[in-house]
Chains A and B, each alone.
Chain A
Amino acid sequence: MAEIGLQDVHKSFKDVEVLRELNLTIKDKEFFTFVGPSGCGKSTILNLLAGLEAVTSGAVFFNGENVNALPPGDRDVAMVFQSYALYPHMRVYDNLAFPLKVKKEAPEEIRGKVHGVAAVLGLEPLLKRFPRELSGGQRQRVALGRALIRRPRVFLMDEPLSNLDARLRVEMRAELKELHQRFPATTVYVTHDQEEAMALSDRIAVLNRGRVEQCGPPEEIYGQPATLFVAEFVGSPPMNVIDGSLLPHLPVSPSVLGLQDEGNLVVGIRPADVDVLSQEETGTLSAQVLLIEPTGNNTWVDGLWRGMKLKGRAVPGDPLTPGRPGFFRILPDRWHFFHKTSGRRVG
């Protein structure tokens, strides 16, 4: 098992800097996720950890040992790819056995381990098949099995669920979490899906343009986003962002919170922290209802308030009609304030 350290890691391709000033410690047995939009450099981190690419400067440590010079095969890591990367010319059995064969383990030992992993993942009936004869979900399991069988120091997962359909993705997500609980091992996970990141991880690092915006447990990322970018990226539907110039019209005063310089603030409020009523109450914002989207457990309401769109949640049993007024009641203490120019959280 291993603790991973990234120290001042920079990575550029030609003139393009894809990662900068990366300083992180991923704890032993931790499920750690890098999340961010495409092109933020998250997959590059995995390639650096795996040794598929070399850092431009800085260092990667496994258990305090600098592994910069170690080729992938000597790092004792396993990787699950978005495309699964199963060897198409080998049967499932040989795909699972491959890493052990390369290490020249004894055939009986390999057989035992393959059947062991196949039992855990329910792959036993499929061992004689070729990858092309498997469904997406089955391929995903084989890819997981090929990683598990080695009992590596570190698991690297590059968007492993992205190629599955929505239902299977949620199922596999739960299964991954269960597997990690059963066989705890340092896992570095990469996804663009913030919900997946929240559901799976012990800690999350939100990446933007090659930089870590915030690193912490899911609750912290959601509850106290460190930057406006994190606030807008995490959470669904995304946070309402209100310009500081509208502060006088809001039922909250930042000066009460000890904040000055109101003109340079941005205010954020999550749709889940906004109730939309059909009758006016004190402290509600009066808006025109534009759109009502029922999603089952929640019904989201878009309203037009002072020229901007606000999203909130309908209160069950309180009927709203598009085109009619709706009254947005913002739960107290759920305000987020950000510095407009730097994007940093204040207060």
Chain B
Amino acid sequence: MSRSQSHERTTHFLFLAPAFLILGSVLLYPGISVLWLSLHRRLLIFDISRFVGLDNFAYLMQDARFWNAFGNTLYFTTVSVSAELLLGLGVAVLLHRAFRAKGLMRTVLLIPWAVPTVVSAKMWEWLYNPDFGLLNYLLGLRINWLGAPALALHAAILMDVWKTTPFVALLLMAGLQTIPGELYQAARIDGASPWMVFRTITLPLLKPVILVVLIFRTLDAFRVFDAVYVLTGGGPANTTETLSIYAYKVLFQTLQFGYGSAIAVTVFLFVGLTSLLYVRQLRGVTT
């Protein structure tokens, strides 16, 4: 009859145990061992495994292809996230009102988000097709979107903007809904212009949500792999090769597990630092 409360405490831990087990073995352990791997020269086919310290990272610093991938990733992240945020904000403000088809509009916005990334990449590859693509036909042009080094990365960015802007807009709409309507009424009674209302009420109150969206999107964009890999494979001439793609190729095409892991670790570090930075900002906003 009498189960003691310390016994209760162990049962409480049992609720968390399965999650800890899975997260520990399939997420945390690999996350740590990738650091260990990155300190090795490891070639999977030849069974070579040798501890080399920071050699991989030293080599990384001189690897032009790494810096190219780093630059591509940074460019992709900055441009796509800013475009998505600005467009998303516009869409959210446009839709933040009562109208009959609002539910339907939300569904429409969810669709690009739900389409598998690979499907959307194939879809856009077809739209970008230089000979039979719809885009060239509609614009009356004959541009090789994915074949021209100056264009390919922008084409990838456009695809990402298509897929993610609606998602950003949905999150921002939810954020707008948490701002009490009385505030707008009060501001209008005080004679504020729509632009002033947006700047002095909407934007400051929306800031926490904007920051959260920025975190999500920045981290996602920086890790980008499937969208670009399927669309261009990193080409032409590595102009669309992101860090994840470069790491993947080194890992699974040349099977250099040590060096590939070192590239992956840089993604890891960047993601960690960025989220730290954002969380700092967020804490400043909410307190």
Do A and B share a direct contact in the complex (Cβ within 8 angstroms)? yes
Q: Which of A33-41, A68-76, A333-341 is the interface stretch? A: A68-76
Q: Which residues of A contact B193 (CB under 8 A)?
A: none
Set of chain B residues within 8 Å of A71, measured between Cβ atoms: 3, 5, 8
Kindly report which residue of chain A lies nearest to residue B3, judged by CB atoms: A71
The answer to whether the Cβ of A54 comes within 8 Å of any Cβ in the partner chain is: yes
Shortest distance from the beta carbon of B14 to any chain A beta carbon, whole Å: 15
The interface residues of chain A lying within 8 Å CB-to-CB of B5 are: 54, 68-71
Residue picked from B1, B3, B6, most chain A C-beta under 10 Å: B3
Give the docked Cα–Cα distance between A221 and B4 (Å): 39
Q: Looking across the interface, which residue of chain B has its beta carbon closest to that of A65?
A: B2
**B8: chain A residues within 8 A (beta carbon):** 71
Closest to A67 in B: B2
CA distance A302 to B105 in the complex (A): 64
- Which residues of B, 1-41, contact A by the 8 Å Cβ criterion? 1-6, 8
Min CB gap B7→A, angstroms: 9
One digit per residue, 1 when the CB lies within 8 angstroms of any chain B CB and 0 when it does not, for chain A 40-69 equals 000000000000001000000000000011
> When chains A and B are docked, how far (Å) is the Cα of A299 from the Cα of B146?
90
**In the complex, which residues of chain A have a beta carbon less than 8 angstroms from the beta carbon of B1?**
74
Nearest CB on B from A54, distance (A): 6
Q: Mark A175-202, 1 if CB is under 8 A from B, else 0.
A: 0000000000000000000000000000
Write out the residue numbers on chain B whose beta carbons fall within 8 Å of the beta carbon of A54. Answer: 5
Report the tally of A-B residue pairs with Cβ distances under 8 A: 14
B12 to chain A, nearest CB (A): 11
How many angstroms from the CA of A147 to the CA of B182 in the assembled complex?
Answer: 43
A74 CA / B2 CA spacing, docked (Å): 7
A203–B1 Cα distance when bound, in Å, is 32
Proximity bits, A294-338, B CB within 8 Å = 1, else 0:
000000000000000000000000000000000000000000000
CB distance from B131 to the nearest CB of A (A): 60
Q: Kindly list chain A residues whose C-beta atoms are within 8 Å of the C-beta of B6.
A: 69
Interface flags, A62-93, vs B, CB<8A=1, else 0: 00000011110010000000000000000000
For B4, what are the chain A residues with a Cβ–Cβ distance below 8 Å? 69
Chain B residues, CB < 8 A from A70: 2, 5
Q: How far is the CB of A104 from chain B (nearest CB, A)?
A: 14
Taken together as a complex, chains A and B put the C-alpha atoms of A70 and B7 apart, in Å, by: 10
B199 CB to closest chain A CB, in angstroms? 41
Chain A neighbourhood of B3, CB < 8 A: 71, 74
A residues less than 8 Å from B2 (CB atoms): 69-70, 74
Q: What's the Cα separation between A70 and B2 when bound, in Å?
A: 6
In the docked arrangement, what's the CA distance between A68 and B1, Å?
14
* Bound CA–CA A54/B8 (angstroms): 12
Instruction: Give, as a whole number of angstroms, the nearest-CB distance from A58 to chain B.
Output: 15
With both beta carbons as reference points, the residue of chain A lying nearest to B4 in the complex is identified as: A69
Closest CB of chain B to A330's CB: distance in Å? 51
Q: Which residue of B lies closest to A51 (CB)?
A: B5
Q: Mark each residue of chain B from 28 to 57: 1 if its CB lies under 8 Å from any CB of chain A, else 0.
A: 000000000000000000000000000000
Nearest Cβ in chain B — how far from A72, in angstroms?
10
A124 to B5, CA, bound (A): 39
In the docked arrangement, what's the CA distance between A150 and B5, Å?
23
The residue on B at minimum CB distance from A73 is B3
In whole angstroms, how far apart are the Cα atoms of A74 and B1 in the complex?
A: 7
CB distance from A154 to the nearest CB of B (A): 17
A278 CA to B185 CA in the complex, in Å?
54
Tell me the bound Cα distance from A54 to B6 in angstroms. Answer: 11
Chain A, 267-294, CB within 8 A of any chain B CB: none
For residue B11, which residue of chain A has the nearest CB?
A71
CA distance A246 to B6 in the complex (A): 59
- Of chain A, the residue at the smallest CB distance from B6 is A69
A74–B3 Cα distance when bound, in Å, is: 8
Measured between C-beta atoms, what is the minimum distance from B95 to chain A in Å?
31
Q: How far is the CA of A138 from the CA of B3 in the complex (A)?
A: 36
CA distance A74 to B5 in the complex (A): 11
User: CA of A68 to CA of B3 in the docked complex: distance in angstroms?
Assistant: 11
Q: How far is the CA of A154 from the CA of B257 in the complex (A)?
A: 67
Say how far B13's CB is from chain A's closest CB, in angstroms: 16
Chain B contacts of A74 at CB under 8 A? 1-3
Q: Taking the nearest CB of chain A, how far is it from the CB of B92, in angstroms? A: 33
In this complex, what residue of A is CB-closest to B5?
Answer: A69
Taken together as a complex, chains A and B put the C-alpha atoms of A74 and B8 apart, in Å, by 12
Give B contacts to A, CB under 8 Å. Answer: 1-6, 8
Task: Please provide the 10 A-B residue pairs with the shortest distance between their CB atoms, ordered closest to farther.
Answer: A69-B4, A69-B5, A71-B8, A70-B2, A71-B3, A74-B1, A74-B2, A54-B5, A71-B5, A69-B2
Offer 14 A-B interface pairs, CB within 8 angstroms, sorted by A: A54-B5, A68-B5, A69-B2, A69-B4, A69-B5, A69-B6, A70-B2, A70-B5, A71-B3, A71-B5, A71-B8, A74-B1, A74-B2, A74-B3
Beyond the given A69-B4, A70-B2, A71-B5, could you list 6 further A-B residue pairs with CB under 8 A, ordered by the A residue number? A54-B5, A68-B5, A69-B2, A69-B5, A70-B5, A74-B1
